[in-house]
Structure 1
Amino acid sequence: MKNPLTIYRQRILSVEKGRYLLNPEGKVKSIVVYPNYYRVGSSNLGFQSVYGILNEKRNIICDRAFLPDNDLEEWFEKKGNYLHSLDTFKPIRDFQLIFFSISFENDYLNVLKIIKYSGLDLLSNQRDENTPLIIAGGIAVSANPEPIADFIDVFLLGDAEVLLNSFCEEIIDAAGGEGKEFFLKIFKKLKGAYIPNDSINMESERKVEVKRLQNMEESSSYSRIISPLTEFSSMHLVEMSRGCASSCRFCLLGNYYGKPRMKSIDKLFEHIDSRLLYTHKIGLISCFIGRGDYINNLSKGIKERKLSASFSSIRFEDLNDEFVKLIAESGQKTVTLAPECGDESLRNKAGKQIEDDVIIKGIISLAKAGIRSIKLYFMIGFPGETTDDLKAIYKLVKKINNEGERNNLNFQIFISASSFVPKAFTPLQWSAMEDERRLKEKISLLRNLFAKINNVRFNCDLPKFAKIQALLSRGDRKVGRILQNAFSYKGDWRRAMRESDVNADYYVYRTRKKDEIFPWDFIDTGTKKSDLYAVYEKYFKN
């Protein structure tokens, strides 16, 4: 019988474009792993960027691996069957360095699966010198690595370009075959690297500084590999900017990455042009869109190259005539926007300073330009949220729908409601999360309300998964015991929490005190904790 991993690999590689021919002279053997399926991981810009950065260096090669598809999991339960890399089909355990790119807390369980499928011990203190060094980066672990710290050797906090460039400079003369200690010594000197076994004292002045890329001309954030088997089929993803101008009080990205830094138009199209041979379908990733000449030059470049372009995140404030025209002419079929709250005053408290009229006007202008599908993100469970606040979501969408009918516009509205999850390094990190039962009641209310509008489709996340995310977002190292239980119980988180000596509700449903020491306080993002608390107090004073 043919190895199912071989079939899986051939199916993927046969349709990929832009894949690297790994440098035969590279002495250091590394692999970047995304802890989810291929279709998800290859749609992730951070993962693609790490793969590119490492393979463009002189003395290192970088292979790839992903969480195996569901139908392969039973195969890995059999003794002697180990996970292999995608490009060279080598056992993951044979690489010197394993880089995990982790964007979401709920993928932590998949990290443990991959470590086990690779034939390695889960706990870092049980892996000897002859095993690979396991490194993790990405926004989830950069904010709070502690719940997964017992399983990882090194965390890289901040932007990959800065951290990996510094690391690769240190290994330029490596001869090959070096063990863990060689690389650990390098990481110990590297600013932005956190080694859990060094046991930083949370109450000391010692901090790990988050490394940020300030000059976007040095950005390496664009897709290297184009494939029809991804979430965004055959799309070339390119980062336009990093950071956000809004800094909403609940949002990790805006608070962690700071103010927006734009990539120049020339650099943007340099990255776009690098994959024009493979696709004319691009996805522009940004929390902030430039204005004036930037939009005009962007529009000109898209038209000249006859590109089909989509914008990942659009702010209502950016929906002026020129930008709406660009969206429509670029071929984007669905536009995603995030009012977050239906009630204007709650929206302002949350940090979204947008009036209802601006929201309605923006959506109508998109519909008039020919956009027939509008996706609106709302968040429920904010501290102090009332039933009237929930009903305000329905009322706002009803107003949008009525205005569309008044203008004889035909468009579909898709509502996506997610539960508020308190995140580290945000002003609402002191808040308790709303309990699961109450969140279910709120979702039921919204579902019943939106059933009254024909052209509106309502979808929501599951509160039980939001609870897991909240646990892993603000947990300390003891929470890793629940994570390990969940792995042992094959993803049964309820049983893992119930049978653990660690109280999950203590981390999820508890309001923190002002002077409480957080598990992530040893990380220095450049923002003072006292400043975040001042904004937190302002939220409740309003």
Structure 2
Amino acid sequence: MTRTAVHTEHPLIEMSPFGKDHRSVLVFPEPYSIASSNLAFHQIYRILGQHPSWSCERAVVESNQKVLTLETGKPLEEFDLVAFTVPFELGYLNVIKALDDCPIQLYADERTDEDPLIAMGGIAAAANPAVMAPFVDIFLLGEGEASLPPLLDLLAKRRNDGYTRLSILEEAAQVPGAYVPIIHGEQPSPIRYARVEDMDEFPPCSAWLTSETEFDNTFLFEISRGCPCGCRFCMIRLSQKPLRAVAVHRILELVDRLPREIPSGRGEETVRPKVGLVGAAVASHPDFEEICRRLREKGWGITASAIEIDKVTDGMLDLLSESQKTLTLAPERGIEAERYRLGKQISDDHLLQVAQRASELGMPRLKMYFVGGLVAPEFYGSDTDRPGAEVNLPDWLKGLEGEDYHDAIFHHEAEAVANLVERIAEVFQPKGKTGTIGVTCSPFIPKPHTPWAGWPMAPENGLKRLDKILKKRLGKIPRARYRTFSGWEAHLQGLLSQGDQRLAPYLFEMTRHPEK
């Protein structure tokens, strides 16, 4: 099925898996549809395959299928370099599965000169590489555009010179952003994250178009990287600061190279690609509205990822509504004061104004993202993250302990989200259409290197109760569509985001016996 989907792709760059001295495979630890929606997968594929010494093929991990490359059906062990890009911690299990399903030695310290080098990048690895250190030869921490080219140069030269595996890894440890566990030991500190200074030099955009993805035949373009916000729970503030933007002329130059019509992937018909503007803070691009206007003037349909609510303007919505049917917003909390506590300076009034304007423009769908399960007393009883600060709980939490304490918070969170969604529903009524409001509430997971890294997670059974409360409460709102979450998966992600090498044998056992 996956290789069949590849035949419907429309490539945007010239690549060949043949004719170069060294061969690499880029693996995404999820199915093809998710991989093709991930811009990092496109960008790293471009860097690998356009290097003068390296060819590149792609592979994805599908259920109950051996991991073979999309281009030629080769197994991973036939390549010199096997690179994984992993955006989320739960992907670690599929990385181990992919390695365990082939003759490559699973543990890095058991590999010989005959085995491929195993590399890994992505924001999950950047946050905490320790969990996967027993399985990976080289981590690239930070932005691959800065660290991958010098690593490829080094690997190609040293392999040509006949260097041993250990000698190559010793030199690879000097590459900016590289963490080599066998050389650096258990702790990657003080390795610095690699960053791209000039986004115009490596503009991240789609390397192929496909209908087999959530973004149907959409040319994705990361127009900015980083985020000026200071959300207390978010990794972006660590790994992608400061905000950097691609120049307007560079964006237009690359979009102008797109074909005006491509095969739809569904029979004989053709379609016109759309342009998807993405970024952690896409509307914080200093020229975001101009980019939208210029693209619309050229006749391109445009969409944008979640837009910072405080940056939304009427002009911006006017331009997006011409081709985008869904507006995605992330207020994170149902109560204004709690949003400010998170680091999101968003008032209820502005949020309602944005929803109403989207409704007036006829956008039929609104998506809203929240974070729940915040059980740390400091969140409700202090205005500082300073350790040891006095905590003065509100009356509705005083004297409560255990499940009673947690349930009071869960009901508080659910009621706050539902009340806000009800207010949104009153103003979001697109003329002649039944406007729907999608609601996603993700459990709070403490992430390394963030101000709230040491805060507790809600217990797994508590998260199940929160999910049930949200489902029941939001189910009373006619046009709300609530997406449930898994408390078990949230806790596993939390464990992987803060764990270390001691988890390795348990992860291996989970991939072998997932039913347990």
Matching of residue 241 in structure 1 with residue 224 in structure 2: yes
User: How far off its partner does 1:241 sit?
Assistant: 0.3
Change in CA separation of 1:11 and 1:352 when aligned onto 2, cut-off 3 Å: closer
User: How far off its partner does 1:406 sit?
Assistant: 11
TM-score by length of 2: 0.86
Report the equivalent of 1:354.
Answer: 346
Q: Which has the higher helix share?
A: 1
CA-based RMSD: 2.4
Change in CA separation of 1:389 and 1:151 when aligned onto 2, cut-off 3 Å: same
Partners of 2:252 and 2:166 in 1: CA distance: 41
- The answer (yes or no) to whether the contact 1:158–1:192 under 8 Å persists in 2 is yes
- Aligned with residue 180 of structure 1, among 165, 174, 179: 165
Deviation sequence 1:80-131 (CA, Å, 0-9, x none): xxx4322233321011111101101011110011112232222112222101
User: How far off its partner does 1:432 sit?
Assistant: 1.1
Change in CA separation of 1:108 and 1:293 when aligned onto 2, cut-off 3 Å: closer
Q: Residue type matched to 1:372 in 2?
A: P
Partners of 1:130 and 1:289 in 2: CA distance: 44
User: How far off its partner does 1:201 sit?
Assistant: 6.5
Partners of 1:293 and 1:120 in 2: CA distance: 47
Report the equivalent of 1:195.
Answer: 180
- Aligned with residue 158 of structure 1, among 136, 142, 146: 142
User: How far off its partner does 1:219 sit?
Assistant: 2.2
- The answer (yes or no) to whether the contact 2:283–2:307 under 8 Å persists in 1 is no
- Aligned with residue 380 of structure 1, among 352, 372, 386: 372
Q: Residue type matched to 1:196 in 2?
A: P
- Aligned with residue 419 of structure 1, among 421, 443, 464: 443
Matching of residue 232 in structure 1 with residue 224 in structure 2: no
Partners of 1:274 and 1:307 in 2: CA distance: 12
Q: Residue type matched to 1:66 in 2?
A: V
- Specify the SS of the correspondent of 2:423: helix
Report the equivalent of 1:399.
Answer: 423
User: How far off its partner does 1:156 sit?
Assistant: 0.4
Report the equivalent of 2:96.
Answer: 112
Report the equivalent of 2:190.
Answer: 207
Map residues 471-490 of structure 1 onto 2, 5 A cutoff: 471-489=495-513
- Specify the SS of the correspondent of 1:9: helix
Matching of residue 95 in structure 1 with residue 79 in structure 2: yes
Deviation sequence 1:387-427 (CA, Å, 0-9, x none): 33431111111111223469998521111111111111211
Map residues 311-460 of structure 1 onto 2, 5 A cutoff: 311-329=304-322, 331-382=323-374, 383-384=376-377, 386=409, 387-404=411-428, 410-460=434-484
Q: Residue type matched to 1:281 in 2?
A: K
Report the equivalent of 1:12.
Answer: 6
Partners of 2:72 and 2:230 in 1: CA distance: 42
Moved more, 46-55 or 476-485: 476-485
- Specify the SS of the correspondent of 2:254: helix
User: How far off its partner does 1:324 sit?
Assistant: 0.9
- The answer (yes or no) to whether the contact 1:422–1:433 under 8 Å persists in 2 is yes
Report the equivalent of 2:392.
Answer: none
User: How far off its partner does 1:276 sit?
Assistant: 3.1
- Specify the SS of the correspondent of 1:251: coil
Map residues 285-304 of structure 1 onto 2, 5 A cutoff: 285-290=278-283, 294-304=287-297
Report the equivalent of 1:518.
Answer: none
Matching of residue 280 in structure 1 with residue 273 in structure 2: yes
- Specify the SS of the correspondent of 2:133: helix
User: How far off its partner does 1:235 sit?
Assistant: 1.4
Change in CA separation of 1:291 and 1:96 when aligned onto 2, cut-off 3 Å: closer
- The answer (yes or no) to whether the contact 1:27–1:174 under 8 Å persists in 2 is no
Matching of residue 469 in structure 1 with residue 493 in structure 2: yes
Partners of 1:402 and 1:315 in 2: CA distance: 22
Q: Residue type matched to 2:315 in 1?
A: E
Deviation sequence 1:263-297 (CA, Å, 0-9, x none): 11111123323333545212111122457982443
Moved more, 246-255 or 298-307: 298-307
Deviation sequence 1:193-241 (CA, Å, 0-9, x none): 0011124465x9x511101112111224111011111232221111010
Report the equivalent of 1:527.
Answer: none
Matching of residue 44 in structure 1 with residue 38 in structure 2: yes
User: How far off its partner does 1:464 sit?
Assistant: 0.7
Partners of 2:118 and 2:46 in 1: CA distance: 19
- Aligned with residue 235 of structure 2, among 235, 252, 261: 252
Deviation sequence 1:311-330 (CA, Å, 0-9, x none): 0120111211111111112x
Partners of 2:284 and 2:41 in 1: CA distance: 29
Report the equivalent of 1:136.
Answer: 120
Matching of residue 60 in structure 1 with residue 84 in structure 2: no
Partners of 1:175 and 1:292 in 2: CA distance: 42
Moved more, 175-184 or 33-42: 175-184
Partners of 1:304 and 1:183 in 2: CA distance: 51
Q: Residue type matched to 1:194 in 2?
A: Y
- The answer (yes or no) to whether the contact 2:203–2:246 under 8 Å persists in 1 is no
Q: Residue type matched to 1:36 in 2?
A: E
- The answer (yes or no) to whether the contact 2:232–2:451 under 8 Å persists in 1 is yes
TM-score by length of 1: 0.82
Partners of 1:488 and 1:89 in 2: CA distance: 24
- Specify the SS of the correspondent of 1:310: strand
Change in CA separation of 1:365 and 1:409 when aligned onto 2, cut-off 3 Å: farther
User: How far off its partner does 1:352 sit?
Assistant: 1.2
Structure 2 unaligned regions, length at least 5: 263-271, 381-408
Deviation sequence 1:151-183 (CA, Å, 0-9, x none): 111100010110012223435656759563464
- Give aligned-pair identity as a percent: 28
- The answer (yes or no) to whether the contact 2:358–2:428 under 8 Å persists in 1 is no
Report the equivalent of 1:510.
Answer: none
Structure 1 unaligned regions, length at least 5: 1-6, 77-82, 496-542
- The answer (yes or no) to whether the contact 1:414–1:457 under 8 Å persists in 2 is yes
Alignment length (residue pairs): 473
Change in CA separation of 1:129 and 1:405 when aligned onto 2, cut-off 3 Å: closer
Partners of 1:370 and 1:124 in 2: CA distance: 55
Report the equivalent of 2:106.
Answer: 122
Moved more, 475-484 or 178-187: 178-187
Report the equivalent of 1:147.
Answer: 131
Partners of 2:78 and 2:432 in 1: CA distance: 63
Change in CA separation of 1:459 and 1:255 when aligned onto 2, cut-off 3 Å: same
Change in CA separation of 1:177 and 1:99 when aligned onto 2, cut-off 3 Å: farther
